[in-house]
Amino acid sequence: MQWLDKGDDYRALKAANRCQPISYPKPDGVLSFDKLSSVYLANTSHDEDQPCHLRLQDARIPVEVNLPTWAEPALRYCPAGVFELVTVDEQPHLQINSANCIHCKTCDIKDPSQNIIWTPPQGGSGPNYPNM
Ligand code: SF4
């Protein structure tokens, strides 16, 4: 079929030095919303004691490969702000706030290093948008 994508989506990512930062308008609260409000609307829940369903094959890749080459795209493509760049012992570190995840699986598809292992969370929950 002609309309199908050819090739893997993560291979299409351009290096950060070939791109200009995009300045998006602030969410207006009517047609566009901030990330935290959108995560709330998804109404996704997790058992507190379940194993983390987002893991890195190699914890060094986000800072040593993805950050210098693609400005760590996980900071932008995740709709729930799960990935956060923090400083630990004066070094950058990718923190994964998995409790915020809305299970869209974008990180599994889009990570340019294919370093993120996404597994379905226990209970099979996902976004359900009860008020939309
Ligand atoms: S599946 Fe990945 S990209 Fe989607 S919300 Fe969860 S952490 Fe973010």
CATH number at residue 70: 3.30.70.20
Tally of domains in the chain: 1
Containing structural domain, residue 129: 52-132
- Which residue's alpha carbon is nearest to atom 2 within ligand 1? 107
- The distance of Cα 118 from the centroid of its chain, to the nearest Å, equals 11
Of 19-23, 41-45, 103-107, 113-117, the poorest mean pLDDT is in 41-45
Q: What residues are in contact with ligand 1 under a 6 Å CB criterion?
A: 54, 78-80, 82, 101-107, 118
- For residue 119, tell me if it sits in a domain: yes
- For residue 81, tell me if it sits in a domain: yes
- For residue 20, tell me if it sits in a domain: no
Residue 124 confidence (pLDDT): 61
Determine the distance separating the centroid of ligand 1 and the alpha carbon of 12, expressed in angstroms.
19
**pLDDT at position 7 over 70:** yes
Residue 37 confidence (pLDDT): 83
Determine the distance separating the centroid of ligand 1 and the alpha carbon of 101, expressed in angstroms.
5
- For residue 35, tell me if it sits in a domain: no
Give the ligand 1 atom nearest the CA of 81: 8
**pLDDT at position 122 over 80:** no
Ligand 1: which of 35, 38, 44, 54 to mutate, most ligand atoms within 8 Å of CB?
A: 54
- For residue 33, tell me if it sits in a domain: no
- For residue 26, tell me if it sits in a domain: no
Report the predicted TM-score, pTM, of the whole model to 2 decimal places.
0.85
For 17-51, write each residue's pLDDT tens digit: 999 988 989 999 899 888 888 887 777 777 777 77
- For residue 68, tell me if it sits in a domain: yes
- What is the SS3 assignment for 93? strand
- For residue 86, tell me if it sits in a domain: yes
Contact between residue 116 and residue 107 where contact means Cβ atoms under 8 Å apart: yes
Helix (H) or strand (E) holding 74: helix 74-77
Q: Which residue has the higher pLDDT, 59 or 126?
A: 59
For 48-100, write each residue's pLDDT tens digit: 777 788 999 999 999 999 999 999 999 999 999 999 999 999 999 999 998 88
DSSP secondary structure letter of residue 68: H
